[in-house]
Amino acid sequence: MKWGRWITVGAGLALLMGCAPEYRVHTLGAVPLPSDTRVVRAVYFKMDAPRLHNPDLSTFTIRCDDPKVTVELVGWKEGKAKRPQQRRLFSILFAWDHSSSLMGTDPARRRFPAGKQLISDLPNDARLGLVNFASLSFSYADYDSRAPMGSGKQQLLDALDYLSRSGFSSYGTPLWNTLCNAIPQFLAHEPDERERWVILFTDGQNDVPDFVESRTHHEALQVAQAHRVKLIFVLLGNRETISGYDEVRQTLEYMANATGGKVIAVEQAQDLREAFGEVLDILEYAPCYNLHLRVRKPGGSRRGERLTLRIQATGGNERAVTIRTE
């Protein structure tokens, strides 16, 4: 009996159409497949094995619930895939630079409609909070809390409207103090099943007044990691507007990579809408391993038959995907 084409039923499996893509580790030979064998591509998310580095074919264990079915991993490559719907539970803190340097880098205040669009596009079940740094008060504070964690989208939109009409902070850009103090305040007690993120927008390097003791980026990273927080930095500027730009960007990238986040850097404020759009893409798509599989069932399969594959990487979680013949 011939098999029909495979289609996706469970999260994490895609039909392989046309020529096989190039894989980083192994490639397929040109020998035609037996009639009872089909090629499929499954997704295994890196979040399911966060300590996995440089895997090989032996890293992954793949089996089918049907003992008659054999599954062979023949190649893999790194990529991104849309997060399974049941995993898209976010707690997100926005940390918003409101320092006076923005008068020069974003005089038209394009950051506000760009940020508001991102907030509007977030999942409705996301728990949100927002701070601006440094404080706008007369006495120094690292940040002002504009929307406590658990606020709705409208409260954050109103907060950005308020900031867009407000003057600037005169207390610099306390990046590390803000992360060290706001993460425990806003994200430490969020439910375990939620992914915790900080989206930090800034146009400069860490800067505090002389009378303020600054934490270090190492301390800020330790706090983020201790509370399982991923860091996304939206950086506006270039070598002309940010002193030590290369070192600043390298530091932010180090912190983002260490937490599973990312740095999105733009030189002009007119590109901020696209930058904040990329943030949404990061939240919706997750890094993964695309696994190239050969699935064989002696005698073939009936039309509409479903098979469940279970995939596990060394030291990682087991995930199930379901395929069906059509």
More confident residue, 13 or 277: 277
pLDDT band at 25 (very low <50, low <70, confident <90, very high): very low
Q: What is the mean pLDDT of the chain?
A: 88
Q: What is the mean pLDDT of residues 153-166?
A: 98
pLDDT for position 31: 61
Query: In the structure, what pLDDT confidence band is assigned to residue 34 with cuts at 50, 70 and 90?
Result: confident
Report pTM: 0.71
Domains of the chain: 6-84+286-325 (2.60.40), 86-284 (3.40.50.410)
Average pLDDT over residues 235-254: 97
Position 11 scores a pLDDT of 38
Cα of 77 vs its chain's centroid, Å: 18
Q: Which residues contact 211 (CB under 8 A, 6 or more apart)?
A: 140
Provide the pLDDT for residue 5.
43
Question: CA-CA distance, 126 to 90, in Å (whole number)?
Answer: 5
Model confidence pLDDT, tens digit, residues 97-144 = 999 999 999 999 999 999 999 999 999 999 999 999 999 999 999 999
The secondary structure of 138-198 as a DSSP string is SS--SEEEEEEEEE-HHHHHHHHHHHHHS--BSS-B-HHHHHHHHHHHHTTTS-TTSEEEE
pLDDT band with cut points at 50, 70 and 90 for residue 13:
very low
pLDDT in the model for residue 326: 57
Look at residue 38 in the predicted model and tell me its pLDDT.
Answer: 85
Q: How high is the pLDDT of residue 236?
A: 98
Alpha carbon distances (Å) from 163 to 17, 160, 182, 183: 50, 5, 18, 21
pLDDT at 198 over 70: yes
Please say if the pLDDT value at position 55 is more than 60. Answer: yes
Average pLDDT of 171-180? Answer: 98
pLDDT at 19: 33
Band of the pLDDT at 243, cuts 50, 70, 90? Answer: very high
Which token pair is 97? 């630079």
The CA R_g of the chain, rounded to the nearest whole Å, is 24
**pLDDT recorded at residue 7:** 40
Please report the pLDDT score of residue 285 as a whole number.
Answer: 84
pLDDT for the residue 28: 43
Q: How much is the average pLDDT of 251-260?
A: 96
Q: Look at residue 16 and tell me whether its pLDDT is greater than 70.
A: no
pLDDT at 305 over 90: no
Tell me the residue type at 218: H
pLDDT at 126: 95
Q: Is the pLDDT of residue 22 over 60?
A: no
Q: What is the mean pLDDT of residues 318-325?
A: 84
- How much is the pLDDT for 325? 64
* Helix, coil or strand: residue 71: strand
Of 273, 89, 96, whose CA–CA distance to 197 is shortest? 89
Looking at residue 17, its pLDDT comes to: 32
Provide the pairing of β-strand 143-151 with 195-202. unpaired
- How does residue 303 score in pLDDT terms, banded at 50, 70 and 90? confident
Residue 325 tokens, joined? 């013949």
**Phi-psi group of 173: left, alpha or beta (phi > 0 → left; psi -120 to 50 → alpha; rest → beta):** beta
